[in-house]
Amino acid sequence: MSKFLYGKGCVSPFLMTAFVYLLMIPLPAFAIACYEPSPSVVAGDNIFEYKKAETLSLSEQRTLQSFFKKIDRQWQGSANRVTCVGSELNARQVKRKTNISMEADGDYRRDMTFRSEIYNPERKTRYSEKFSLYLIDDFLRMDSRGPDGDIEIMRIATNELIFLQRYFVRKLKPAKPEEDKPVKPVPPVSIQPLPAIPINPLPSIQPVDEVTTLPIGPSQPRDGRKRNTRPAEDEQEEEVVYSPGGVLNEVVRHLVIKGRALQIETTVYTNGYLASSEKWQLR
């Protein structure tokens, strides 16, 4: 059964301090530092360690419900995305701009579902994204009402929510070569020429903007992991294995209300190092 690796209701002060430190690094407007360490690494945590989720206090739950009520409506805006590709010593950034229409829909069960339609004007492609948050059994969970949806709360305020989701994507092992077997001789076959058939051109194939991978159960990596390169989402590049078992993703989502505007920033760290970041500006 698929399961997130890690979730806590209350963040440690060391992890929160590390996250604030990363936010305070002076950078130009929406610039990222490729391969910078994740807040967990800065705090000295073992990102592969499984930890049990903790419940939210009644005060945190009331504050979270107040925040949900403020964003429960339709939103329009744009997004800027930066993806890191290449090696750590020769990193480059692939940038993308999109237009967004998002509906944040709450219900009586204290659930909040985010449905987004995203249009890429450069590629002229359109796709959808969706995720849900569930306030259930004194936990805040994502995309599942059970323990496999546990996430880590980094900050809850009336105008702000920051949470961390961790999941492990296991690498498929290459198929083993078959043992050498004697090959039987094949008799020659006469081939008759086929009549000429007109060939119709194939329709153009649009590239896929997003790929969703399902998390699977926790796994302990072997010693001697080495970080070399990042696979690109927007370009076809050779993918390098970060660890023998697979890849641990940490996804930090930062939602903040500023007046009548809503900003959602999603930062992805792969095996403890920044891989991509996307900022949505909505009204």
Query: β-pairing, 160-170 with 111-120?
Result: unpaired
Summary count for the chain: helices (H), strands (E): 3, 11
Give residues with Cβ within 8 angstroms of 103, minimum separation 6: 73, 74, 75, 114, 115, 116
- Rounded CA gap, 60 and 53, in Å? 15
- In Å, how far are 20, 113, 164 from 67, measured between CA atoms? 21, 14, 17
In 3D space, the residue among 49, 82, 271 whose CA is nearest the CA of residue 152 turns out to be 49
* Burial class of 140 by CB neighbour count within 10 A (0 to 12, 13 to 18, 19+): buried
- Nearest partner of 280 among 266, 267, 264, judged by Cα: 264
**What pLDDT, on the 0 to 100 scale, is given for residue 31?**
76
Q: Average pLDDT by consecutive 10-residue portion of the chain (283 residues)?
A: 38 49 46 91 88 90 96 98 92 96 93 97 96 96 95 95 92 59 55 47 37 39 44 43 70 97 98 96 98
- For residue 160 the two structure tokens come to 């702000």
pTM value?
Answer: 0.68
**How many other CB atoms are there within 10 angstroms of residue 83's CB atom?**
22
What pLDDT does 48 receive? 85
Q: Are 45 and 18 in contact (CB under 8 A)?
A: no
Give residue 21's pLDDT. Answer: 44
Residue 147 near residue 136 (C-beta atoms within 8 A): no
> What is residue 152's predicted lDDT score, i.e. its pLDDT?
92
